[in-house]
Structure 1
Amino acid sequence: MNARALDPSERLIEQAIALIVDGEGTSDSQALAAREALARWRARSPRHETAACEAMRRWNALAGLGSDLRSRFPAPERTVPPRRRALLSVAAVLGAGLLGGRAIHWYREQPLFTANYTTRTAELLKVTLPEDSRLDLAPLTGLTVALHRDRRVVTMSGGEVRFDVARDLDRPFSVLTRTTRIEVVGTAFTVRDRGGVVTVGVERGHVRVRRVGDPPGAAIDLRPGQAVDAGDSHVGAVRETAVTGMSAWREGWLVFDNTPLVDALATVNAWRRTPIAAPDPRVRTLRLSGRFRADDSAGLLAVLPTILPVTVMARQDGGVELVPR
């Protein structure tokens, strides 16, 4: 044990920094409890107050260490910037030890960039992330982006996104949906989640898909021209398909390839102010194939009874309902 570790004042300073770290790096309720604990700790004696002042001085001196990293990631439009947290390397002050390790872990876990993106009915959005990955969002889509030092994570709440991921071997790119975890390094692929199965299709590169909760060994590899559907309880078989059709909405088209009608309608309704309903299970399970204008759902409704055994009924609330014929 070295002389510094035996210094009582240093021990007190380390205790104070531990409380400061807890106050900055945990949840709101835990942070409040830690700050209250620090206030009580400071009041115990003049020596505790002196140690707390020195701990705060060291913390503030180290708080700017990561500002150069943050400056490389200017906030684009529609972002929600993360709460500014102090960046530190407590090991430089405390040396080796459990506290230093905990603080370094906390520091490394702080994202360099975060943003939320959402689209409205019939709205498209193009996003270029600070590390040059490009995202195209279809209507009624929501997601959160977090760029860390060692990874990039997108969490989708729903909708459709076409990803063109910048290659970075040191920072893998992951997409999290309700049912799946998708891992890539650099590739182009589309993810569709309209409330039913989650569909992943690869245009270029290599994507690894597994259900949330499954071990890494259960992942399925997708190559260009392949797609897979993932439900709550299983992942379907890999199929060959024209994957570019999945993101044809970027050019104003909706392309369906033997798609369950309930899923196709969820996509169509993202472009309509009044949804097309299909409450009857016999209608919902029908399969739809074809290419339709995204902004012409009236044309789709006109042709639908000629290709499927359904009748289009107008509802009193202004909506439209499909019933079996």
Structure 2
Amino acid sequence: MNTRDTSPAPLSDDLQRQARVWLRLLDSGDVTEVDAQAFRRWLDASADHKLAFNEVKHRWATLRTASGMYVERHPNAMPAPAAVPATPRPALRQRSAGRRAFIGGALTVGAAAAVAGFYPDVLRRVMPDSLGADERTAVGEQRTLTLASQTVVTLNTQTSIRQGIQNGRTVSVTLLSGEAAVDLGGSAEPFTVSAGVGSARAQDGRFEVRYLDGKACVTCIDGTVQVSHPAGKRSLQAHQQVAYNDHVLSDVGNVNALAVAAWRRGELVFDQIRLVDVVAEINRYRSGRVVLVNEAARNQRVTGRFRIASLDAALAQLESTFDLNARSLPGGLLILS
């Protein structure tokens, strides 16, 4: 009697590699709404995609348990981690850092980096700051808002704001995440942009505020801008900039204001910027995700001017300049190795 083998066909090595890349990316602690949407598209592509994802998660959970038992039985087998100064950041970021440290010590570079059951948590924590936003832009989108007769605010890619209204007029905005440029025509009342624990206030001229990952940067293009922070106050003149986070306010520094505002002209301008930071900036404007896994190239410096509308050409140029290998995966994922 003939019997039919009903066991499922083995998953391809390529599909499992894709699953490992997604797991590593999602567990990095630097996940955007676009990343989550791209991952869902990849995951929903077929039943095999879901199976590959779950199998890799299961293997990692098993390895993690075994590694923990080994360390308990052999406490001197692994060196103690180097002391790291305490950083008063949110608990989520600290947990992510702990996972990365464990993964670095227990797995090879190409191994999966995910804890069992983290996938729903990743999607829950995507873009929490956009809640309550009045206006937001999508990836690659820019939008200009005329909030008063002489107040124009331009929102860059992936930007969320909430408006402050008094007597029917918008007198301020809270920048929840992203980048906003303010053009003032000398109105009777000053205009304020709040970001994190600080704020920037001006009555005329032009200035920009960038707020990402808990770090803010205020640049005065024209006129004068007053920056207030729990750590102090700063007065900015044209072509000056100040940065801050929840605890520290920097001194005033001089900058190339035209380069800072290049995004409004459809360009990204870099001057001796690390390649890993250039890739992160490109990810803000490009659908999908670019992941740089070439450790030797991360700190290479980039100087150049790239068109936002032609970022694939920019990536090809970076690939050639730094002798990288590019591999495209479903969901808009591009791996540079």
After TM superposition, the score normalised by the length of structure 2 is 0.53
SS in 1 for 2:285: coil
Matched, 1:314 2:327: yes
Are the aligned partners of 2:227 and 2:234 in contact in 1 as well (CA < 8 Å)? yes
Deviation string for 1:217-276 (max 9, x for gaps)? x11111101122323432334322221222222221111234454543343223211121
SS in 1 for 2:315: helix
Change (3 A) 1:305 1:228: farther
Tell me which residue corresponds to 2:71: none
Matched, 1:229 2:243: yes
Tell me which residue corresponds to 1:153: 172
Tell me which residue corresponds to 1:268: 282
Change (3 A) 1:206 1:283: farther
Match of 2:145 among 127, 132, 138: 127
Q: Which runs of 5+ in 1 are unaligned?
A: 1-113
Counting aligned pairs with the same residue, the percent is 26
Are the aligned partners of 2:165 and 2:171 in contact in 1 as well (CA < 8 Å)? yes
Are the aligned partners of 1:301 and 1:312 in contact in 2 as well (CA < 8 Å)? no
Deviation string for 1:115-158 (max 9, x for gaps)? 82211112111111124201111111111122325982210111
Give the length in aligned residue pairs.
204
C-alpha separation between the residues in 2 aligned to 1:238 and 1:259? 20
- CA drift at 1:159: 1.3
Tell me which residue corresponds to 1:304: 318
Tell me which residue corresponds to 1:15: none
Match of 1:177 among 195, 209, 230: 195
- CA drift at 1:200: 1.7
C-alpha separation between the residues in 2 aligned to 1:147 and 1:281? 48
What is the aligned-residue RMSD (CA, Å)?
Answer: 3.0
Please tell me the residue identity of whatever aligns with 2:253: R
C-alpha separation between the residues in 2 aligned to 1:276 and 1:228? 29
Q: After superposition, where does 1:93-242 map in structure 2 within 5 Å? A: 116-148=134-166, 152-169=171-188, 171-195=189-213, 197-211=215-229, 213-214=230-231, 218-242=232-256
C-alpha separation between the residues in 1 aligned to 2:178 and 2:144? 14
Matched, 1:244 2:258: yes
Are the aligned partners of 1:268 and 1:297 in contact in 2 as well (CA < 8 Å)? yes
C-alpha separation between the residues in 1 aligned to 2:297 and 2:214? 15
Are the aligned partners of 2:288 and 2:333 in contact in 1 as well (CA < 8 Å)? yes
C-alpha separation between the residues in 2 aligned to 1:192 and 1:280? 28
Tell me which residue corresponds to 1:255: 269
SS in 2 for 1:219: strand
Please tell me the residue identity of whatever aligns with 1:125: R
Deviation string for 1:70-89 (max 9, x for gaps)? xxxxxxxxxxxxxxxxxxxx
- CA drift at 1:286: 5.1
C-alpha separation between the residues in 2 aligned to 1:179 and 1:267? 23
Are the aligned partners of 1:188 and 1:204 in contact in 2 as well (CA < 8 Å)? yes
- CA drift at 1:288: 3.4
Tell me which residue corresponds to 1:277: 291
Are the aligned partners of 1:283 and 1:322 in contact in 2 as well (CA < 8 Å)? no
Q: Please identify the structure whose Cα radius of gyration is greater.
A: 1
Deviation string for 1:159-191 (max 9, x for gaps)? 12111024345x332111125311212220112
Deviation string for 1:282-307 (max 9, x for gaps)? 76555433210101112221222455
After TM superposition, the score normalised by the length of structure 1 is 0.55
C-alpha separation between the residues in 2 aligned to 1:262 and 1:234? 24
